[in-house]
A and B are shown apart, each in its own frame.
Chain A
Amino acid sequence: MNNYDSNQIVVDMKGITQKFGTLVANDNVDLTVHRGEVHALLGENGAGKTTLVNSLYGLYHPTSGEIFINGEKVIMDDPNVAIQHGIGMVHQHFMLVKPFTVVENIILGLETHKHGVLDMKKAKDQVIALSERYGLTIDPDACIQDITVGMQQRVEILKALYRGADILILDEPTAVLTPQEILDLIQIIDNLTKQGKTIIIITHKLKEITDVADFCTIIRRGKKIDTVRVADVSEADLASKMVGREVSFKVEKSKAAPSDIVLEIKDLHVKDNRDIPALRGLKLTVRKGEILGIAGVDGNGQNELEEVLIGVRKAESGSMTVNGTDLLGKSPREILDHKVSTIPQDRQKRGLVMDYSVAENIILENYKKEPFSKKGWLNFEAIRNYARKLVTEFDIRPNDEDYRAGSLSGGNQQKVIIAREISNNPDLLIAVQPTRGLDVGAIEYVHKALIAQRDKGKAVLLISFELDEVINVSDRIGVIYEGQIVGELKAEGADENEIGLMMAGGGKK
């Protein structure tokens, strides 16, 4: 962007340490940002990026360390203090009141009023003026629940600007955007920095950093690793600094040997919770011995596809057969009985009963079967023995089948689910966002497990928002856009740009 002034330091965080109990989320981290700069914070999930900016925004109080804004030392003990010092934040999960209008959301907390009575006309005029000034077009009277995610993000940015923010923190702003919306966002960021605003952007996507950022601070396991001028480094440099070792983007695997069709979906139409079509004539097939990866931006029907496949959402029309049996509209139990297993996208909400032990979670799908129970009575010895075997086989740590599932690390929780699903010996394994929030070691483990299933001659369907993951793990790629598969291609030698274009609807025939 190159709109920055290297003589003017606006944010200077020194020696920030943040402890939550025994966990050290930030360990002596420094961050220096200049006026008009786009500064990226790069790190893996859980590295401590969000914790750092939350301290800057006054949501957390650092255990130790100092924060200077425009050279003045500030105790950030409340978002109000941050707002007063010109800091605005756009959270990863938008902080919008859904039944409120755009204007109401923007003015909330800083309302235009006369003696406590709202002056909505004045508010609307101010919001419109602001949106025109920064080129952020919005409909001021629309309710948040009725507008797109991209629009909601604009409302979030306007909220910060309305409060006179000069420093904007964007937490993973592109995670939910389409490629086109990402381009719009980049344009908006450029506009803002030209008018002297400073942007701190949190991301773990390397390409975005090279596209928009002037500087990049890399954080790993709570520690600052380095701050670099983006123009001076390559993506590979950034990646190795992020994960702490040379990263091979390639996943080792042999060539696929696909045979009979296992899953066949034809002309599938499904509505979402708001009764809007989410899948519109989706069509795909997965064969024995292959991994089909579904690439796409979040919100293009992946969630509904997962739910239909599992049997918890009704379809409007279409067919879905597994080994020739139509399973559309069948219950989750029946689908499971047809040798379909799923690693769901949200392991804590959908995968595990957190207050149950590892052993109890392992028998979740089979507790009614022998030897785990007989005529309604549980057989605890059989359950424990079986669970202990899987705990050892899948290297779940701690090595204790009585451990509470909710107390395991994310990676080990995922292992419990994988152990349970794979030990069902399914013909079709569906994995949705299987590596979300996992560290590098765990990601590798999951990828290897999926490939091992393929090599055993199973059909594997991988649905992921991480394009790299889809390209590296799959044999074949289907691109989902607005509830349809808009393109199919071989994973080997696939062109990321071509897929990116399709993900944005560009490849639609």
Chain B
Amino acid sequence: MILQSIAFILGTTLMYATPLIYTSLGGTISENSGVVNIGLEGIMFMGAFIGAAVGFYTHSGWIGFLAAGVVGGLFGLLHAVACITFTADQVVSGIAINFLGPGFALLLCRLTFDGAAMTVPLPLDEKISRPLNGLFEQNSFFDMIFNRYSTVYLAFILVFLMWFLLYKTRLGLRIRAVGEHPEAAATLGINVYKIRYFSVIMSGVLSGFGGAAMSIAIVSQFRVTLISGQGFIALAAMIFGRWKPQGAMWACLLFGLANGIVIFMPRTGLDISSQLLSMLPYVLTLILLVVFVGKAIAPSADGEIYEKH
């Protein structure tokens, strides 16, 4: 019984951490290049809708997932154009995107689903696949933990890829250099604008994935309250993970665990408020920021406008 409970909590942890991981990886790459993106929430919202809607009409969860990435990338491009080319305040532009993402998502939803603010659920067999289904005995310990949608495994693969990209490749070295000291990178002939454009568009793609991972894997449709705040939790996770992909992943797992416990709690009969538990990720992030006081953990040029002379 205890084993079952642990498996249940770990399984839900993985499930709920997944959308956060995609989106926080998006935040990681954008901020490592020096562009703050608080528009993650809005892009995730859009990704959730596009994933569910395209999945519904094409009868393929995967096509929906990819479409969510593409549209997320377009929103990333919008943020990039505003912040990089037109030197907008990155926070303000992010706020605009948080209006535009939900605005467009609901507008398109009403147009394509007869005025409803939610999509028609995907049939079970059209959702993202569960590649390990049947590998373990049903409802056994390992089955409850590891029998997950493909998006879960993909998220962890992407964490590794993002780490490899940032720390082992030429492009990664340049992304980090641009986020730390864009002028230095520019004097070495690196095109700061290109690197930042790439990073911000990627952050949109990943946030789009994050939204879709919510709407077509965890649940099977898009609705208005589906994302509510997950983009901001992902942002918190990125900060908690000290702007590193592997750190963000651990933070997402921690926040996912909080979620897992919230869902598990009613089964125990223990009277711990789910509201208070839901606060935990945010409070932990604040505490972390205080603990690492004075230590420069964000990229030095994060949020700063770069302008060529």
Judge whether A97 and B171 touch: CB under 8 Å.
no
Which listed residue, B169, B177, B183, touches A108 by the CB 8 Å rule?
B177
Judge whether B173 and A118 touch: CB under 8 Å.
yes
**B267 on the interface (CB 8 Å rule)?**
no
- The bracket for how many chain A residues form the interface is 20 to 34
Which listed residue, A98, A113, A116, A159, touches B180 by the CB 8 Å rule?
A98
**B185 on the interface (CB 8 Å rule)?**
yes
* Residue ID in chain B nearest A82 by CB atoms: B189
**A376 on the interface (CB 8 Å rule)?**
no
B170, B176, B177: which has the most chain A beta carbons within 10 Å? B170
A79→B170 CA distance, assembly (Å): 19
Judge whether B183 and A95 touch: CB under 8 Å.
yes
* Interface pairs (7), CB distance under 8 Å: A54-B309, A79-B188, A96-B181, A109-B174, A109-B185, A109-B188, A109-B189
Which listed residue, B171, B184, B186, touches A96 by the CB 8 Å rule?
B184
Complex interface bits, A223-235 against B, C-beta within 8 A gives 1, otherwise 0:
0000000000000
**Could you tell me the distance in whole angstroms from the C-beta of A130 to the nearest C-beta in chain B?**
16
Q: What is the number of contacts between chain A and chain B, taking CB atoms within 8 Å? A: 65
Given contacts A98-B180, A108-B177, A109-B189, 15 further A-B contacts (CB under 8 A): A54-B309, A78-B189, A79-B189, A83-B188, A89-B187, A95-B184, A97-B185, A98-B300, A108-B173, A108-B174, A109-B185, A109-B188, A113-B169, A116-B170, A159-B188
**Could you tell me the distance in whole angstroms from the C-beta of A313 to the nearest C-beta in chain B?**
14
B170 contacts across to A, CB distance below 8 A: 111, 113, 116-118
**B194 on the interface (CB 8 Å rule)?**
no
49-79 of chain A: CB within 8 A of chain B: 54, 57, 59-60, 78-79
Judge whether B309 and A95 touch: CB under 8 Å.
no
**A507 on the interface (CB 8 Å rule)?**
no
B183 contacts across to A, CB distance below 8 A: 95
**Could you tell me the distance in whole angstroms from the C-beta of B74 to the nearest C-beta in chain A?**
25
**A110 on the interface (CB 8 Å rule)?**
yes
Which listed residue, B171, B180, B181, B187, touches A79 by the CB 8 Å rule?
B187
**Could you tell me the distance in whole angstroms from the C-beta of B11 to the nearest C-beta in chain A?**
35
Complex interface bits, A93-106 against B, C-beta within 8 A gives 1, otherwise 0:
00111111000100
A interface with B by C-beta (< 8 Å): 54, 57, 59-60, 78-80, 83, 89, 91, 95-100, 104, 108-111, 113, 116-118, 159
A91→B309 CA distance, assembly (Å): 15
Judge whether A111 and B181 touch: CB under 8 Å.
no
A116→B170 CA distance, assembly (Å): 5
Judge whether A118 and B181 touch: CB under 8 Å.
no
Interface size on B, residues (CB 8 A): 20
A54 contacts across to B, CB distance below 8 A: 309
Which listed residue, B173, B187, B189, touches A91 by the CB 8 Å rule?
B187
A138→B300 CA distance, assembly (Å): 25
Beyond A98-B180, A100-B180, A117-B168, is A111–B188 a contact (Cβ under 8 Å)? no
Judge whether B184 and A116 touch: CB under 8 Å.
no
Judge whether A97 and B180 touch: CB under 8 Å.
yes
A117→B170 CA distance, assembly (Å): 6
B177 contacts across to A, CB distance below 8 A: 97, 100, 108
**Could you tell me the distance in whole angstroms from the C-beta of B254 to the nearest C-beta in chain A?**
25
Judge whether A79 and B186 touch: CB under 8 Å.
yes
Beyond A60-B309, A118-B168, is A95–B187 a contact (Cβ under 8 Å)? yes
Which listed residue, B168, B184, B186, touches A97 by the CB 8 Å rule?
B184
A95 contacts across to B, CB distance below 8 A: 181, 183-184, 187-188
Beyond A108-B174, A118-B169, is A99–B189 a contact (Cβ under 8 Å)? no
B184 contacts across to A, CB distance below 8 A: 95-97, 108
**B190 on the interface (CB 8 Å rule)?**
yes
7 nearest A-B pairs in the assembled complex, by CB-CB distance: A109-B188, A95-B184, A80-B189, A111-B170, A97-B180, A113-B170, A97-B181
* Residue ID in chain A nearest B308 by CB atoms: A59
A274→B181 CA distance, assembly (Å): 20
A59→B309 CA distance, assembly (Å): 7
Judge whether B188 and A104 touch: CB under 8 Å.
no
B176 contacts across to A, CB distance below 8 A: 97, 100
* Residue ID in chain A nearest B167 by CB atoms: A118
A96 contacts across to B, CB distance below 8 A: 181, 184
* Residue ID in chain B nearest A91 by CB atoms: B187
A100→B186 CA distance, assembly (Å): 16
**Could you tell me the distance in whole angstroms from the C-beta of B75 to the nearest C-beta in chain A?**
27
B188 contacts across to A, CB distance below 8 A: 79, 83, 95, 108-110, 159
A159→B184 CA distance, assembly (Å): 11
* Residue ID in chain A nearest B171 by CB atoms: A116
A124→B195 CA distance, assembly (Å): 25
**Could you tell me the distance in whole angstroms from the C-beta of B171 to the nearest C-beta in chain A?**
6
A113→B165 CA distance, assembly (Å): 13
**Could you tell me the distance in whole angstroms from the C-beta of A124 to the nearest C-beta in chain B?**
14
A97 contacts across to B, CB distance below 8 A: 176-177, 180-181, 184-185
A96→B184 CA distance, assembly (Å): 6
A79→B183 CA distance, assembly (Å): 11
**Could you tell me the distance in whole angstroms from the C-beta of A134 to the nearest C-beta in chain B?**
19
B185 contacts across to A, CB distance below 8 A: 97, 108-109
* Residue ID in chain B nearest A78 by CB atoms: B189
**Could you tell me the distance in whole angstroms from the C-beta of A167 to the nearest C-beta in chain B?**
15
Which listed residue, A89, A91, A98, A108, touches B190 by the CB 8 Å rule?
A108
